[in-house]
Amino acid sequence: MPIIINNEDKTYTLLTKNTMYQMKVDVCGVLEHTYYGPVMEYMDMHYGVECDMGPCFSPNPADGPDGVWAYSYNGINQEMSCAGIGDFRLTAMGVRNADGSFGAEPRFVSAKTEKGKYSLSGLPAFYGDKAETLVVTLKDKVHDVYFHLYYAVFEEYDLITRSIVVENKTDKSIKLEKAMTLTLDLPLGTYDMVYFHGRHTRERMLERTRIRHSQVSVASMRGASSHMENPFVIVCDKNANEEYGAAWGIGLVYSGNFLISAEKNLQEKTRVIAGINPENFNFEIEPNGEFACPEVAMVYSNEGFGKMSNSFHKAIRNNLCRGKYKNAQRPVLINNWEGTYFDFNADKLVAMAHEAKKMGVELFVMDDGWFGKRDNDCCALGDWVPNEEKLQGTLSQLAKRINDEGMKFGIWFEPECISEDSNLYRAHPDYAFAMPNRAPQVSRNQYVLDFSRKEVVDNIYNQMVKVLDGANISYVKWDFNRHITDLYSVALPAEKQGEVYHRYMLGLYDLLERITSRYPDILFESCSGGGGRFDMGMLYYMPQVWTSDNSDAIDRLKIQYGTSFAYPVSTMGSHVSVCPNHQNARVTPLQTRGNVAYFGTYGLELDVTKMTDEEKAEISRQIKEFKSYYDLIQHGDYYRLISPFTPDESLYCAWETVRPDGSEALVCAVRYETDANTAAEYVKVKGLCKDKLYRINGSEKTYLGAALMNIGLFLKYDFFSYPSRLYHITLA
């Protein structure tokens, strides 16, 4: 029974295999949050949030319990914190009532369970028949404004998701001025926040900071989740690490503006909120209308980050990603971007495909530059018409030429953007975001289309359908190469302009839903200047993401390691590219480039016609090796072994994938510093059976699982720059 409704105690308890989450209706009918931590026998946990220190200078509700001066909205642990009613902490919801007053006092109405997982109209969300849903309905004390709190429990993965649907049953419109999904009040303690910041070509760099009395926030106001912050954080015990300590992973299933914020209050209680960034946000709800807040996904682990990541990986793979490819073997692809940039024609592409096929590559992807007059990034976005001069025929003919080489064919789109120099812009300049009387800002010579308007989305949909119906296309890379400025929709009145960011996301999700469901056999890869929109929202539509425009194997260690805290390797687009590397000029061994790319989708991004025979042979070997490990890498349990973020502790980065029964593992260790005369290093392997004997890379010598996990695996040093090794561990 993953959900317990106890009407006597007025508690609502969610249970996963290892975790427990509880709420309780208090004397005033307020829904308090009482517990989120390790699973235990059912009990009313309210004692754990009682506090004999009053939240001074905090008013008491008019109908609060007599004489309990400490009872204040500012002091109690609330399941959904509301602004404007005396809670001075971080608040999640803000309601502007029809009379202009700002605030709501949600009180309990009802609770019920539902079989299966709730869904959210127009928004991405985890799904699954095996999940169970709890719906708790609260209502403002004064107005007929209802808050339906949705929770879903995925027992097996220790995953709990939540959302809020606000319903206006008054006879006048109200405005949501804040619609943040998560309020999470933690047990008293000292916590850190781990988060993943970055920039273009340096995405998801790990940082950790103490949560004190000032707010700690990660946020985006770029109209995309962005390279700069990721909508995923870990709040953890101050001593938590990969294996020990309490860790709450919190991810938003949303790809637009977001805010995740935490602080301690005057009673030393820590609160976390997460949801749509309230800056430049408000949303009108008409009488009988509803607003759904984006979903938040949470995993609690009392065994540190490793276990938490594993739960997210499984849940994302099985219950967020959809479609034919979510668990299927993905084709090994070659993308022409770094090989040619805009400088190609069909003959050149076919020559590349011909060589790549000989090495075992299965899919050829034609990147940017195939449409309109796009020989550089100054024009043609919005005109999704093949350039038949460059393609030396129709798109269908090119696809056939690639198919005739024995390869599948894929194509690049940037559906959300428009160039000023395009037929679409000349015909419909109002399709691009621009503020009245203000020249819009260009970024990479392009503007963003107003996807809050259905006719704009429809126009792009129809163009994409024409292309995708017109040729044998097996793969689409969906790119987005600038962030949103000049936000203004000519289709909405002045008082509704605060809705545009979110309406843009709804338009984008609608287009994604229509395109991905119309073409169930196409493999979709998300991209935004590399990994600028690597989030759970996008993964609902596209099962893999181009992790970064930085394809250097050594920089990729940090990028892929940071990404792995939330996202599984099956979602990480990773390619072998040329050296010196185009992003940082580093020269690394081809073998190391391959080893790093194995822990992702593995593909190529270089001009294979320029490779030496030796290099081609190495790529052929890699493709065979990658395929032989495919199942282990993609479906094994992933562990981070040595962090690339701690160079003072080790010169290596190492990670591992292991079968859940401990029967086989693959460790990848890459030396990212080239210091002389360094000490020997061992890496402690995880997930093996302690009593069983193992061989390493088929060695004669056998090693006890317990020894490999406690003493470690000796990392053999190879005397050249940036060496790497794979250690295949099998039962003896």
**Cα separation of 511 and 253, whole Å?**
17
Task: Name the one residue in this structure whose structure tokens are 């999940």.
Answer: 131
SS3 readout for 154-196:
EHHHCEEEEEEEEEECCCCCEEEEEECCEEEECCCCCEEEEEE
SS3 readout for 199-230:
ECCEEEEEEEEECCCCCEEEEECCCCCCCCCC
Based on CB atoms, which residue is closest to ligand DGJ, 562 or 603? 603
3-state secondary structure of 600: coil
Based on CB atoms, which residue is closest to ligand DGJ, 445 or 497? 445
Based on CB atoms, which residue is closest to ligand DGJ, 196 or 546? 546
Based on CB atoms, which residue is closest to ligand DGJ, 228 or 668? 228
Among 36, 258, 305, 412, binds ligand DGJ (CB under 6 A): 412
Among 530, 562, 573, 600, binds ligand DGJ (CB under 6 A): 530
Torsion of CA 455, 458, 464, 470, to 10 degrees: -120
Is residue 529 within the footprint of ligand DGJ (CB under 6 A)? Answer: yes
- Determine how many CB atoms are found less than 10 A away from the CB of residue 675: 8
Largest CA distance in the chain: 85
Q: Using N-to-C axis directions, what is the helix angle for 613-635 and 590-598, rounded to 10°?
A: 20
**Cα separation of 596 and 196, whole Å?**
20
Based on CB atoms, which residue is closest to ligand DGJ, 355 or 368? 368
Q: Which among 16-24, 326-334, 506-514, 524-532 is the span making contact with ligand DGJ, rule CB under 6 A?
A: 524-532
Shortest Å distance, C-beta 481 to ligand DGJ = 5
Shortest Å distance, C-beta 380 to ligand DGJ = 11
Site size for ligand DGJ (CB under 6 A):
11
- Would residue 229 show up in a list of annotated catalytic residues for this protein? no
Region 355-374 residues binding ligand DGJ, contact defined as CB under 6 A: 367-368
* Active-site choice (513, 615, 625, 718): 615
Q: Residue 212 carries which side chain, given as an amino acid letter? A: R
Based on CB atoms, which residue is closest to ligand DGJ, 131 or 515? 515
Is residue 405 within the footprint of ligand DGJ (CB under 6 A)? Answer: no
Which helix (H) or strand (E) segment is 264 a member of? strand 258-264
Q: Which among 260-268, 525-533, 643-651, 671-679 is the span making contact with ligand DGJ, rule CB under 6 A?
A: 525-533
Shortest Å distance, C-beta 230 to ligand DGJ = 17
Region 76-105 residues binding ligand DGJ, contact defined as CB under 6 A: none
**Cα separation of 291 and 289, whole Å?**
7
DSSP string, 484-545: --S---TTS-GGGGGGHHHHHHHHHHHHHHHHHHH-TTSEEEE-BTTBTT-SHHHHHH-SEE
Q: Could you tell me which of 173, 169, 179 has the C-alpha nearest to residue 285? A: 173
Is residue 416 within the footprint of ligand DGJ (CB under 6 A)? Answer: no
Shortest Å distance, C-beta 342 to ligand DGJ = 8
Which helix (H) or strand (E) segment is 96 a member of? strand 93-96
b (16+ CB within 10 A) / e for 404-433: ebebbbbbbbbbbbbbbbbebbeebeebbb
Is residue 383 within the footprint of ligand DGJ (CB under 6 A)? Answer: no
Shortest Å distance, C-beta 623 to ligand DGJ = 21
Is residue 136 within the footprint of ligand DGJ (CB under 6 A)? Answer: no
Provide φ and ψ at 59, rounded to 5°.
-70, 160
Based on CB atoms, which residue is closest to ligand DGJ, 369 or 723? 369
Among 283, 433, 546, 599, binds ligand DGJ (CB under 6 A): 546
Based on CB atoms, which residue is closest to ligand DGJ, 344 or 546? 546
Shortest Å distance, C-beta 340 to ligand DGJ = 11
Provide φ and ψ at 554, rounded to 5°.
-80, -45
Q: Mask: binding to ligand DGJ, 314-343, rule CB under 6 A, as x and -?
A: -----------------------x------
Q: Which among 80-88, 522-530, 569-577, 652-660 is the span making contact with ligand DGJ, rule CB under 6 A?
A: 522-530
Q: Which residue is nearest to ligand DGJ (CB)?
A: 368
* Active-site choice (535, 605, 618, 664): 535
Q: Could you tell me which of 72, 575, 692 has the C-alpha nearest to residue 330? A: 575
Based on CB atoms, which residue is closest to ligand DGJ, 368 or 618? 368
**Cα separation of 393 and 402, whole Å?**
13
Torsion of CA 673, 675, 680, 682, to 10 degrees: -10
Q: Mask: binding to ligand DGJ, 591-630, rule CB under 6 A, as x and -?
A: ----------------------------------------
Shortest Å distance, C-beta 555 to ligand DGJ = 15
Tell me the residue length of the chain: 732
Would you say 183 and 287 are in contact if contact means Cβ atoms under 8 Å apart? no
Shortest Å distance, C-beta 365 to ligand DGJ = 9
3-state secondary structure of 524: strand
Q: Mask: binding to ligand DGJ, 468-497, rule CB under 6 A, as x and -?
A: -----------x-x----------------
Provide φ and ψ at 251, rounded to 5°.
-130, 145
- Would residue 535 show up in a list of annotated catalytic residues for this protein? yes
Is residue 431 within the footprint of ligand DGJ (CB under 6 A)? Answer: no
Shortest Å distance, C-beta 329 to ligand DGJ = 23
Region 173-212 residues binding ligand DGJ, contact defined as CB under 6 A: none
Shortest Å distance, C-beta 338 to ligand DGJ = 8
Q: Residue 102 carries which side chain, given as an amino acid letter? A: F
Q: Residue 670 carries which side chain, given as an amino acid letter? A: V
Would you say 395 and 470 are in contact if contact means Cβ atoms under 8 Å apart? yes
List active site positions: 535, 615
Interacting residues with ligand DGJ (CB under 6 A): 337, 367-368, 412, 479, 481, 527, 529-530, 546, 549
